[in-house]
A and B are shown apart, each in its own frame.
Chain A
């Protein structure tokens, strides 16, 4: 497959132009929090991303499709969920500004996804296709370091979440979520928080009532 991008010359249109573009502010911030990046490297990255707007309830990925996007969130919140045999939704991830979201297995292997990714609010995304991601990591080694650190952190967080789901009480789970991710708790409907924590909405309501009575 031939694309025109391999031979395209890099046009440095001026780093200030890209800096003033709010479209990349969160991405640049995220990169700089994890790796050292020059202005030229940051500008080079921008041409690999597809800018995509989603409205509330629009899907980035539908279960059963191949995941072709790894999305960085500049604005808004998305959720990733799966549906069991009984038709119940199970939310596995939220992602808000500065976070990435994808079905990594499907994205990297081309297999059919078992997840649906939906916008909870109107969202502005920067998305990478598998080919663009590989190309970007090859041409900008800084970005590969950034992706490695993200995956390391994600794996650590995943282990912690598994352990917590096995050992923590409902109240502990909710309290931790409020403490660590207050932005999500404020912006996401309660029934979705309950689903993410593996609780019924009734249990979550009870937990919140108990916490507020104690305060």
Chain B
């Protein structure tokens, strides 16, 4: 995974989203977006003040962030929420889109996968479940990644491993 890789993180309102943003900003060129501009400015300021070398930028538009990005991470969005997918769909073609599932459970993961694939039919989707027992609202270091795209799964695993996560992958060899 090249350090020149640009990652768009869409949705940074929660603790776990901010943890992810902080970890990736230390290693990659990161573009952040959130509907709440105040939260967005706050997290950017916090990351830049951390004292570590960081490359992070607040974006005004999720489509612009996704357009520049090589990999898109969606966090905090319900799969029934089409608003974000409509905004990024045409600039997310053939890109890896990593979606953090809300909630837990394997069946939820697969149902969510199917829904997101319909919303972003030309994107290479990876669905992520937090497998650990982190404190409420916080991200553990144990993640399960599911996808029907083997190559995307390898890339996603390498990406998150590079910032300290333990990844279990699940390749589902059927179209969602």
Please state if B124 and A3 are interface contacts (CB–CB under 8 Å).
yes
Which of B95, B121, B149 lies in contact with A3, CB distance below 8 A? B149
Please state if B4 and A62 are interface contacts (CB–CB under 8 Å).
yes
Smallest distance from the beta carbon of A81 to chain B beta carbons, Å? 17
Contact of A12 with B by CB under 8 A: no
Which of A4, A48, A53, A62 lies in contact with B149, CB distance below 8 A? A4
Smallest distance from the beta carbon of B129 to chain A beta carbons, Å? 20
Smallest distance from the beta carbon of B115 to chain A beta carbons, Å? 15
Instruction: Write the residues of chain A forming the contact surface with B, with a CB cutoff of 8 angstroms.
Output: 1-4, 7-8, 11, 21, 23, 46-55, 59, 62, 65, 124, 129, 132
Contact of B64 with A by CB under 8 A: yes
Rounded to whole angstroms, the CA-CA distance of A50 and B67 in the bound complex is 9
Please state if B150 and A2 are interface contacts (CB–CB under 8 Å).
yes
**Nearest 10 A/B pairs, CB to CB:** A50-B94, A53-B68, A53-B67, A51-B91, A47-B122, A4-B148, A2-B150, A1-B151, A3-B149, A1-B150
Given A49-B93, A50-B93, A51-B91, check contact A4 B151 (CB 8 Å).
no
Smallest distance from the beta carbon of B120 to chain A beta carbons, Å? 11
Please state if B121 and A11 are interface contacts (CB–CB under 8 Å).
yes
Smallest distance from the beta carbon of A67 to chain B beta carbons, Å? 12
Instruction: Write the residues of chain B forming the contact surface with A, with a CB cutoff of 8 angstroms.
Output: 2, 4, 64, 67-68, 70, 90-91, 93-95, 117, 121-122, 124, 148-152, 173, 175
Please state if A4 and B68 are interface contacts (CB–CB under 8 Å).
no
Please state if A132 and B148 are interface contacts (CB–CB under 8 Å).
no
Please state if B95 and A21 are interface contacts (CB–CB under 8 Å).
no
13 example contacts (A-B, Cβ-Cβ < 8 A) are as follows A2-B148, A2-B173, A4-B124, A8-B175, A11-B121, A23-B91, A49-B93, A49-B94, A50-B93, A50-B95, A51-B93, A62-B2, A65-B2
Please state if A4 and B2 are interface contacts (CB–CB under 8 Å).
no
Contact residues in A for B90 (Cβ distance below 8 Å): 21, 23, 51
Residue of B nearest to A4 (CB): B148
Contact residues in A for B93 (Cβ distance below 8 Å): 46-47, 49-51
Residue of B nearest to A47 (CB): B122
Contact residues in A for B152 (Cβ distance below 8 Å): 3
Contact residues in A for B148 (Cβ distance below 8 Å): 2, 4
Please state if B94 and A132 are interface contacts (CB–CB under 8 Å).
yes
